[in-house]
A and B are shown apart, each in its own frame.
Chain A
Amino acid sequence: MLLIDCPFCGKRTESEFAYGGPALAPRPDPAALTDAEWVDWLTVPPNPLGWVEERWWHARGCGAWLTLRRHTVTHEIAEVRHGR
């Protein structure tokens, strides 16, 4: 169970949140990419052994979208911020 320190609500249990996927780089112009690069951006999430940035929605709390910096091995959360 993660304990996520929502900037608005304070520490809340993971079950109040919905995972919103990886915090990706801004959407590129598909016309400027190869098909392989576009498919890669759309469908291949980063999956490192280490720190990732993720989007989480505080669905059962304040309703805000948050960006978390989380370690995929230890589940340590180093940063939580509103928005991207």
Chain B
Amino acid sequence: MTRYDVTITRLPLRALFEMRGALPGDAGLPPPPAPLRLTQAGDRVLAMTGPARWLLMAPLAQEETLERALPEAVALSDTLTFFAITGLGAGQIMAVASPLDLHASAFPEDGCAFTEAFGIRALVRRLPGGFEIGVDASHADWFAAMLDRVAGCA
């Protein structure tokens, strides 16, 4: 029984690459339409997280292929741990965790932004029925405990 109607799931490791400057054509995705937005094609996601700063996400099985195709990209795969927060109470959990304005008018369906959650740097985007949040892997256990505490599981 939780305080909010919410399910918190730790997601498996994924391939993550950060790129700076001009977006290489080999990323395999068109650039997002605006800052702090993402584009998605198949199982790959490309987000514009800063000025001339891109984050490519893909299944871990594609890591080696992408590493060869994008020699200028920096592999970050094992640096972030992602959580899915889904359910009717997902917005309530996010409101406690992060100061980011997640109203649909400020953070659209394809929104993706670095912000902070429980005081640490976090990457946020929407999922069907909730949100995905990624934090530094070294803080993941503590962050999971914080999510559980807010949700009322702990």
Chain A residues proximal to chain B, CB less than 8 Å: 8-13, 15-16, 58-64, 82
Flag if A60 contacts B116 (CB, 8 Å). yes
Assess the A9–B116 pair: CB atoms within 8 A.
no
Q: Is the CB of B121 within 8 A of A9?
A: no
Q: How large is the interface on B (under 10, 10 to 19, 20 to 34, 35 or more residues)?
A: 10 to 19
Q: Judge whether A59 and B121 touch: CB under 8 Å.
A: yes
In the bound complex, do residue B113 and residue A64 qualify as a contact, i.e. CB atoms below 8 Å apart? Answer: no
Pairs A–B under 8 Å by Cβ, sample size 14: A8-B36, A9-B36, A9-B113, A12-B99, A13-B99, A15-B119, A58-B50, A60-B116, A61-B115, A62-B36, A62-B49, A62-B51, A62-B53, A63-B50
The chain B residues found within 8 Å of chain A, CB to CB, are: 35-36, 49-51, 53, 99-101, 106, 113-116, 119-122
